[in-house]
Structure 1
Amino acid sequence: MSPPVQHACSFLFVPADRPEQLPKALASGADMVIADWEDAVAPAHKASARQALAGAVAQLAPAQRARLLVRINAEGTPWFRDDLAALALLVGQGCAGAMVPKAEGASTLVAVAHTAGSGAALLPLVESVAGYDALPALAGAPQVARLAFGHLDFQADAGMDCQAGADGHGDEGDEHELLPVRLALVLASRRARIAPPLDGVTVDLQGSTRLARDARRARRMGFGGKLCIHPSQVAPLHAAFDPDEAAVAQAWRVLQALHAAGGGAVALDGRMIDGPVLRQAQQTLARHELACARAAGHPVAGAGATLA
């Protein structure tokens, strides 16, 4: 499975029929880029979008291809089979894999994996009640690296009306109604021992307040990253997920205190610390390692920490 996909925090969508945007997206600081053959491309342009992406990928360096995913069209659409054939060629050239929209059963993922090859990482996008019901099967399907939450489509499918609320104040826009669904994605990922899931997009592009709030909620709930629709969202997303200096220093203190005590439990700053606290400290340092690798200009694949 592709290490960049497992460890990445930021996933930036780019329309596949706009190949000139691909190098800019890869240079944006996003950990992964998703070339979109689905929602971003009009039906009349699906075929030309496949050709445009193939031409653009041919110009990329191997390290850039390893950071590139493709969102294919959903099974049952007229474009699904042709997408799979084109995807297999891109994976053969070193692209990371595919985001699979409207995922509602393992059979779809098995078909994608079979055609794309064993090197393709798959990210099922849960966008419906049927997808929610199938979470264990989706998380456990072959080559699935992460789950992702398409919360806007999910609301429409379930008949929900979570307010957008972009002002950052009060409860409006916090999407409390979706908390059980988000938690289900986190728990299904953990049970399947795959990397933490990705939260959905923030459609508000007027400043970073809403994005930062959404990202902090995702981090608190156990998500490992988030989908982005604009390069300006990448930096505030990383700021929300990457530990600050105080958190890193405290994590090191926890590790040192438990090491000095020879394991077990020990008091630190008037608080009892033991195994669960140690694991939280290790996760903090793992996220810090990834942040340092990113800041140094190295791909997230270079970080050896495991966040799952």
Structure 2
Amino acid sequence: MPSPDSSSTTAVPPFTMGPALLFCPADRPERFGKAADRSDAVILDLEDAVAPADKPGARDAIVEQSGAGGLEPSRTIVRVNPVGTPEFELDLQALAKTPYRTVMLAKAESAEQLRSLADYQVIALCETAAGIVNASPIAAEPNVVGLMWGAEDLLASLGGLSSRNDDGGYRAVALHSRSAVLLAAKAAGKEAIDSVYVNIPDLEGLGVESRDAVASGFGAKACIHPNQVAVVREAYAPAPEAVAQAEELLEAAAAAGSGVFQFKGKMIDGPILKHAEATLRRSGRPAR
């Protein structure tokens, strides 16, 4: 087995499915196509969204819908049940019959668990205390393409009651966990995916949280309702004036030809230029 060190990260291609990932219960095949059409990538959920008695049918639905005319594998993620459960092994048996090779591992807690999915690209969902604490070695596994964190499952694993305060903001432990997953993912050269926003009608609150995710460095955000997709996309799409400013700044940097220079009264150095390059990438334009 490969050792979980930083050198292994070069084996993984970049995660390009974002920014809006939409969960869809795997036992609702009539929704698969709609979810895919309305998002940047669909997450077919075999875990929490499906009752235990309905999981066999959900697996069958994924297999049956994966043939000709099925979902595009490059835009499809399958969330499987946790390692060590009977459902996990059955999930893998079903996946082997499909072209889908990107999975989201629910309740990922150790690097060793990722080795059960060596043939897949994996988004490790860190949503327990052990998963958060072990985020760095998990991120370093060769088949991991990204980390996501889960707020409500995390607080449940801690014996807590809610991830948020009365004002809607995250509790301190949730904010710490969010940051820990982001830092672990980026340190390993992997993508970071922000948790879902469970208050579906509160699109304003979702917008605020999505813009913070962008500014903090999360490459994507998961959604639980189609109405959330447009809000997430808008947050990730830079305004035209921001794109114009980024292009102007990078042109000035090329003309200056030095590591540090002044631009419109401000001192500009490497990190500022990287921010401008990130803005261009989010706009769909190549960074200069």
TM-score (norm 1): 0.84
SS in 2 for 1:174: coil
Q: Look up the match of 1:88.
A: 96
Residue equivalent to 2:241: 246
Describe the SS at the equivalent of 2:230. helix
Q: Deviations over 1:51-93 (max 9, x none)?
A: 111111214357x222111001112222111111212222xx2
Counting aligned pairs with the same residue, the percent is 39
- What residue is the counterpart of 2:163 in the other structure? 162
Quote the offset at 1:164 in angstroms: 6.0
Asked whether the equivalents of residues 152 and 163 of structure 2 are also in contact (C-alpha less than 8 Å), the reply is: no
2: CA distance, partners of 1:176 / 1:284: 30
Question: Matches of 1:253 and 1:54 in 2, distance apart?
Answer: 50
Separation (CA, whole Å) in 2 of partners of 1:243 and 1:7? 18
Amino acid at match of 2:204: T
Q: Pick the aligned partner of 1:174 from 162, 166, 169.
A: 169
Give the aligned partner of residue 43 of structure 1.
52
* CA root-mean-square deviation: 1.8
The answer to whether the 8 A contact 2:164-2:171 is kept is no
Distance 1:225 1:56, change over 3 A: same
How many residues end up aligned between the 2 structures? 274
- Unmatched 5+ stretches in structure 2: 1-11
Q: Which amino acid aligns with 1:148?
A: M
Counterpart contact for 1:13–1:228, Cα < 8 Å: yes
Rounded to whole Å, the distance in 1 between the matches of 2:108 and 2:163 is 22
State the alpha-carbon separation in 1 of the partners of residues 17 and 262 from structure 2.
Answer: 32
Residue 263 of structure 1 is matched in structure 2 by 258
Please state whether the residue corresponding to 1:103 is helix, strand or coil: coil
Uncovered stretches (5+) of structure 1, i.e. residues with no partner: 166-171, 293-303
The structure 2 residue matched to 1:109, chosen from 86, 108, 114, is: 114
Which of 207, 215, 218 is residue 212 of structure 1 equivalent to? Answer: 207
> Which residue of structure 2 aligns with residue 183 of structure 1?
179
- Partners of 1:105 and 1:162 in 2: how far apart? 23
After TM superposition, the structure 1 = structure 2 runs for residues 20-35 of structure 1, keeping only pairs within 5 Å, are 20-28=30-38, 30-35=39-44
TM-score with structure 2 setting the length: 0.90
Matching residue of 1:19: 29
Q: Is the 8 A contact 1:198 1:224 kept in 2?
A: yes
One-letter code aligned to 1:22:
F
Match for residue 222 of structure 1 among 214, 217, 220? 217
Greater Cα offset, 138-147 or 7-16: 7-16
Question: How do residues 55-134 of structure 1 correspond to structure 2 at under 5 angstroms?
Answer: 55-60=64-69, 64-90=72-98, 93=99, 95-113=100-118, 117=119, 120-134=120-134
Q: SS at the partner of 2:145?
A: coil
1:147 partnered with 2:147? yes
Residues 2 and 96 in structure 1, CA contact (< 8 A), matched pair in contact too: no
Cα drift, residue 220 of structure 1: 2.4
Question: Using the alignment, how far apart are the partners of 1:100 and 1:270 within structure 2?
Answer: 48
Alpha-carbon distance between aligned partners in 1 of 2:110 and 2:164, rounded to the nearest angstrom: 29
Separation (CA, whole Å) in 2 of partners of 1:61 and 1:76 = 29
